[in-house]
Amino acid sequence: MLGAVPSRYNWTGGEIEFSTYFSMARGNVSIHAMEKNRWFDTNYYYTVPELGPDVNFSYASHKAVNEYKEAKGI
Give residue 1's pLDDT band: very low, low, confident or very high (50, 70, 90).
low
> pTM of the prediction?
0.71
Tens digits of per-residue pLDDT, 4-59?
Answer: 888 889 888 888 889 998 999 999 999 999 999 999 999 999 999 898 887 878 88
pLDDT for position 74: 83
CB contact at 8 A, 64 and 1: yes
Looking at per-residue pLDDT, the higher value among 67 and 63 belongs to 67
pLDDT of residue 69: 95
